[in-house]
Amino acid sequence: MIQNVFWFLTFLAIISACMVVFSRNPIHSVLYLIITFFALSGHYLLLNAQFLAVVNIIVYAGAIMVLFLFVIMFLNLRRETEVQKPIAVKFAAVISGLILLAVLLGALLKADIQPGSEVDSQIGLVENLGKVLFSDFLLPFELASVLFLVAMVGAIMLGKRDPGEPTI
């Protein structure tokens, strides 16, 4: 039963991730990406990581993808106005994708988890996650929050009007 759910979610994630790339309409791409996020959240739930599952939905599906849709709706893209990207950009995209794949493969090959080995099934719950984040990984966590603060300040700086620029 659980295995079937796993396979269903996996196929859903991969197929909709492919559809993100292959759709001609950017709005459809965003909607397929949202389905991908939901499939990933389902995987988190299967791993008993409810907090990660919900936060994934709140942050990615609920906020970031809404902003994506928001911008794309304003751009009003049509098929006639679609720009053919230069071949160099396509090559760069493929190469950077392959580099990411290499990193993931390397990490997975190095990982040493036997199928039957003891794993704490409660590790994904919010209490344990919080304890780990605020004890063992406190410095990276704080650095990440400083990074967010910098990004916020940067966004405000970019959005601010220069003195003398007309208002509205």
Partner 1 sequence: MDPLIVNALIILSIFGITLLIATYSTWAERKVAGFIQDRLGPNRAGWGGLMQPLADAGKMFFKEDFIPAHANKWLFIFGPSLAMLTACMASAVIPFGDSFIIGENIVLVQAIEVNIGILYVFGVVSLGVYGLMIGGWASNNKFSLLGAVRAASQNISYELAMGLSIIAIILMSGSLSLRTIVEGQHGGNWNILYQPLGFIIFLTCAFAECNRTPFDLPECETELIGGYHTEYSSMKLGFYLFAEYINMFASSAVTACLFFGGFNYPGMDAVQNELIKSLGESTGHNIATGIGIAVMFAKILFGIFFFMWVRWTLPRFRYDQLMNLGWKGLIPAAILNVILTGAGILLEMRWLSWVAVLIVIGIAVLQASISQKKELRAQRA
Amino acid in the structure at residue 150: V
Which amino acid, one-letter code, is at 88? A
Minimum Å distance from CB 146 to partner 1? 17
Cβ distance to partner 1 smaller for residue 11 or 70:
70
Distance CA 126, CA 42 (A): 17
Identify which of residues 17 and 50 has a Cβ nearer to partner 1 in the complex. Answer: 50
Find the shortest distance in angstroms from Cβ 92 to partner 1: 31
Residues whose CB is less than 8 angstroms from the CB of residue 38 and which lie 6 or more positions away in sequence, other chains included: 57, 61
Minimum CB distance to partner 1, residue 101 (Å) = 30
- Minimum CB separation from partner 1 for residue 104, in Å? 27
Based on CB atoms, which residue is closest to partner 1, 66 or 138? Answer: 66
Chain residues that interact with partner 1, rule: CB under 8 A: 27, 31, 34, 50-51, 54-55, 57-58, 61-63, 66-67, 69-70, 73-74, 125-126
Q: Which CB, 28 or 90, lies closer to partner 1?
A: 28
Cα separation, 136 vs 158, whole angstroms: 35
What is the C-alpha separation between 104 and 97, in angstroms, rounded?
A: 11
3-state secondary structure of 77: coil
CB atoms near residue 37 (< 10 Å)? 19
